Structure 1
Amino acid sequence: MAIATISPADALRRQQTGALLIDVREAHERATGFATGALGIARAELEADPQAAVPGLDAEVLLICQSGARSMKAAQALEAAGYTHLASIEGGTSRWIAEGLPVTTPDVDTDFYDRYSRHLRLPEVGEAGQRRLEAARVAMVGAGGLGSPAAYYLAAAGVGTLVLADDDVVDRSNLQRQILHTDARIGVAKVESARVALSALNPRLRIEAFPERITAANVERLIGDADVVIDGADNFPVRYLLNDACVKLGKPLVYGAVHRFEGQVSVYDAGRRRGEAPCYRCLFPEPPPPEAAPNCAEAGVLGVLPGVIGLLQATEAIKLILGIGESLAGRLLNFDALAMRFRETRLRPDQDCVVCAPGREFPGYIDYARFCAGP
């Protein structure tokens, strides 16, 4: 027997004479407004236990969603469960509102539900995950080529607090790749320029800006409360310092680096997973000689390359906060822009690593500039 489809106006008349109206959308969808008097039960929940909401199989049940598709599927599921008096509302809540029928709008944070609606539709994120993102704190060292795309997308995704540390100012040569900054802000501290751009994108964001060079003296103050640390630095002393601090403090470190047309990204999580996940020193026990690793100012870099790597870093940070997917811990992802090819290298923890070997006490911070300067 075909399930009836009825107009919103007809549904309202039936509701007023005793029919049960059920809104089968998710809670975050109903938060922006629902047909007055409707009982809100997500489709999956209703189909799993219809008797909890509708004890009588002969009760008149009207089902509504956003446009009519989900309500029809829910009606079909209820019919299969033995219900006999069902109807789906054609055009759903969209048509109900368009026709000026009574709507209840809960007293909720509508900006949250509107801004993150596409995340909220993902079962792997949902409202609980989005709230977790909003409560998260990410420390980012460097507001330049890697920090720009990573910070932009973390801000857009709803990460609640970004801690930005960078002692540099905006230079015209940065603008080819450092998209947080503009020509009008040349000469401005990068962390301040970043604060302006990120706040304009997402006013909900909390930004703690430190125009400081990160050192052994301040690293724990800057990253100590972070859930995730992102390495957006462009030099080896800072990379080794961040690695050692994250191992000591038990923080996951999302690493990224670029050189000319190639980049790489990984997650170093040895601080939380001793003996299981490697740290940066497991891969590079000793830094390369300075002449073998020139920075962008010396060797140049394709402008879009930091964008690719920074976005991958943001992706890993979001996954770590949400606890979803498989992180890059134990894997180094290499990207060749000219060949448009990714290559993955498996990484193993070094059981004799001077910093992250199981049971090893933290050896203390060192003079990283001297360590990386070579003999």
Structure 2
Amino acid sequence: MRTFMKSDFTCGFIGLGLIGGSIARAIRDFHPKSRILAYDINQEALQAALADGVINTALSAIGEELSVCDYIFLCAPVSENDSSLSEIKKYMSSTCLLTDVGSVKADIHRHIQKAGLSPQFIGGHPMAGSERTGYINSKTLLLQNAYYILTPCADISQEVICDFRELIASLGAIPLILTYKEHDYVTAAISHLPHVVAACLVNLIRQSDSPRGIMKLVAAGGFKDITRIASSSPVMWQQICLTNGENISGLLEDYIVSLSQIKEEIDRAGAEPLYQFFDQARVYRDSFTDASSGPIKKSFSIRIDIADEPGALAAIATILALHQISIKNIGITHNREQADGVLQVEFYEESSIQKAEEILSSKGYSIYH
């Protein structure tokens, strides 16, 4: 992590939801002398941030107060950010850096160009998130070890880029500089397309299931895991498809071709091609960096064999609680052939996994991933 030299800078936030709130929390924790101003249509979020000591000032509107900002983060929905630019421009100082947190960059860059703000804009995309939304679910650790993509405008100075890159690194994130076109193609492949595919799979099961709902019944395990991202906000993904449609459509066409090819091998029972198909995917996936954050949030969980008897689940929860290990989610996995059950426990932090494994293994539990 590079050291960010400033200590008394001022940040403004337009929108204080999950991402905006998490960035503000990280700035407050890592730079306690900084001053943070925020505007959000949700007054409850602003009051909660004030009570938490995360922000210094809650703004009732986009106004003159923003003129003292060294950085302004656009963290509202994309359409609101676009419509706010002309108002923000009235109050921005000539030395203020404007940035955003949207997952599609071409659209905001077009609006920035049109507003004449290119020399003061670096697009931003913290590749971290949660199934939950709103300031109430924000947390400092959301940015930890997450790639934070930066897309500077062509006419912004290298000095400003380095300054902002150091600020992002000082928050525990990993800055990665790309052009906005590179960003949109990369995220279309590793984030946007998977969400489309997951939704397609879920809808296929919905349409193919029997009136008794047997598919839905047994989908609670592996199928539910691999399609977890289909539970994301339909409004958000509608907007992503509308703003990054060209990239998503192109990659979707390539994906359809690959599906047709593997269908042909299944139809003709091509043993070797089928093996190569799965083996190449396995080898390539196993080469991925095991980062804790990304556009599709990693789940920190373990599975535990438990006896099918009263109190079994409560016993494990109690053991973990006594050792100060917080549980994010806990539940029984039903779709397995063994007589006993499998308990899946999800944690908030990766560090909890090893600690929980050691404690539960010492008490005779069988743990696996």
What TM-score do you get using the length of structure 2 for normalisation?
0.31
Larger radius of gyration: 1
Structure that is richer in helix per residue: 2
What TM-score do you get using the length of structure 1 for normalisation?
0.30
